[in-house]
Amino acid sequence: MECGTVSKNSGLQGGVPSFTSDIVLVNNPFLLRSCVDALARATSIAVDLEGIELCRSGTLCIMQLKAAGSERIWLVDIVVLGASAFEIAGTFNKSLKSILQSAGIKKLFFDLRNDSDTLFHLFGVVLANVYDLQLLEVAVRWSNIGICPRFVKSLVSTMETYLAPGKSTDEVRSWTRVKQAGRFLFAPERGGAYDIFKQRPLALPLVNYCAQDVALLHDLETVLQQRIGPKGRNWATRVHAASAVRVRVAFEANYLPTGKDKTMVFANW
């Protein structure tokens, strides 16, 4: 897949099975306007970020977005476009910034805290109408056992627990291969380096790695909602409210992107 093109029925990409037939690497204003126009019509968008030490002092390299009901995944290249990625408007006079800040479009994240820190401090984006699936997973356990869990789960653990049982063995193996191929390139403990996210053209295994998680967030939301138990009430409202708190916490001057508190559940929601 060349930079700035759409991959359709691409089969194998960089030796990794492709799980989607429609990935667009957005690295010029024309493609960015197409992306913005498509997302502006959505009611719900799955969002993920990739970069180097994502936080106010880190580097955002790729923003991944997928509208509900669409198979197309947009990988917005922040390395190439810079801050203009958030400012360039499409046909409807909407930009990525205005979409992310829109109260009328739901944004799905999984653990949005460092994403909020990055977007706010580096690009002035104040996320609105966010729904953190890490908190929804907490609600699933809480609503079934009647006691607030102590720890949050990672995305990988959540996928394995809730999404994998409903998928075929081949699909689960494909997820694993995509994840491993990507981590092999950037994880220092596997001989990789995070700076590879800044190299262009973007390595094809990283294209699949970036796209995979955001491709599955709407499916994960559906499964988690179905698993909400009988204990407690108004869980959707509570997850929305707790997600908004996470957005604001990342604005604070003393916010830290890592630490033991990141694994803890705060029971005041």
State residue 1's pLDDT score: 39
Closest CA to 34 of 104, 81, 94: 94
| DSSP character string of 82-131 | TTHHHH---TTS--HHHHHT-TTSEEEESS-HHHHHHHHHHH-----SEE
Where do the domains of the chain lie, and which CATH numbers do they carry?
6-263 (3.30.420.10)
Record the tokens describing residue 146, joined without a space.
């009647």
State residue 21's pLDDT score: 54
- Residue 255: other Cβ atoms inside 10 A: 18
User: pTM for this one?
Assistant: 0.92
Low-confidence ranges of the chain (pLDDT < 70): 1-21
pLDDT tens string 213-238: 899 999 999 999 999 999 999 999 99
Closest CA to 251 of 136, 130, 127, 65: 127
* Cα–Cα distance for residue pair 216/66, rounded to 1 Å: 9
* Cα–Cα distance for residue pair 103/245, rounded to 1 Å: 15
